Amino acid sequence: MQNITEGRAKDEPTNFDLSGRVALVTGASSGLGAHFATVLSRAGAKVVLGARRRDRVSAIAEAIMRDGGQAIATELDVTNEASVAACFAAGETAFGLVDTVIANAGVTWSGRATEMPLDAFDQVMAVNLRGAFLTAREGGRRLIAGGAAQHGRGRIILVSSVTANRPEAGIAAYAASKAAVSAMAKALAVEWARQGVNVNVISPGYIRTEINQAWFETQIGAAQIARFPRRRLATASDLDGALLLLASDAARGITGSVFTIDDGQTL
């Protein structure tokens, strides 16, 4: 019978401690990004926060430091290759090699596809898909050059959405971008499998954030919540377990996986 403890010391407990790790989070000025940065810091990681709104991301970094963590804020446009590279460079200067990457930045546009301006479609794709690609590619390049094949600590997590598999009317571009993100993550996982870089996806259900708050306050939005099996929205903290697992050494054998965490909303 195969020893189930192969790959780690016998009786060694599963450990989600992120001490010694350097995590970079995009879209970190609010919502899930700000939450992820805080959770990673409290687990011991040094955190690089990137977002377009420098004042807000700076405030979150300051809050993390007041809480005893280590963090820096960078102004980041994920659609711009030079801006992404500069964000990683700032993180390396402050803390060393970024070994944990959370590509979270995202935007949406709601309305009938027949009425969607082409520039709005392009913006959704630029942030959600191009931005995730540029973030993952920069992280992958630096991890490979930094010896991930030897240390095996490379972790890249792309944030998708349950709408990738179960889209709603009025979010055609958003759903398409998130489906592409999930597919891209699997392709990158295959490409970097032998180079010590694990690439996975967190696919959240509906959580109240700045992007959708107004929608869920409408009568139609409330009716959507009522259709969920538990008749409620998920919460950001529901994602913490998967986030910490995938960012940790415990995820050594996990790559190319999509973790759907939606409180049963898609059942």
Say which residue, 5 or 157, is predicted with more confidence.
Answer: 157
- Is 206 one of the annotated active-site residues of the chain? no
For residue range 8-56, list pLDDT tens digits in order. Answer: 444 555 568 999 999 999 999 999 999 999 999 999 999 999 999 999 9
For residue range 152-169, list pLDDT tens digits in order. Answer: 999 999 999 999 999 888
Question: Over 80: is that where the pLDDT of 180 sits?
Answer: yes
- Percentage helix, strand, coil for the chain under 3-state DSSP, each rounded to 5: 50, 15, 35
Tell me the domain boundaries of the chain: 22-257
Residue 225, H or E segment: helix 219-227
Catalytic residue among 95, 174, 192, 259: 174
Q: Which CATH number fits domain 22-257: 3.30.450.20, 3.20.20.70, 3.40.50.720, 3.40.50.300?
A: 3.40.50.720
The Cα 140–Cα 62 span in angstroms is 28
DSSP 234: B
How many C-beta atoms surround the C-beta of residue 130 within 10 A? 17
Question: Over 50: is that where the pLDDT of 117 sits?
Answer: yes
Question: Over 60: is that where the pLDDT of 3 sits?
Answer: no
Q: For 45-171, where are the alpha helices, taking DSSP H only?
A: 54-66, 81-95, 118-125, 131-145, 148-151
Q: How many CA atoms lie within 13 A of 37 on its CB side?
A: 33
Q: Quote the pTM value.
A: 0.92
DSSP 194: G
Residue 20 gets the label, from left (phi > 0), alpha (psi -120 to 50) or beta, of left
The Cα 112–Cα 151 span in angstroms is 48
Question: Over 60: is that where the pLDDT of 7 sits?
Answer: no
How many C-beta atoms surround the C-beta of residue 176 within 10 A? 18
For residue range 197-244, list pLDDT tens digits in order. Answer: 999 999 999 998 877 778 788 898 899 999 999 999 999 999 999 999
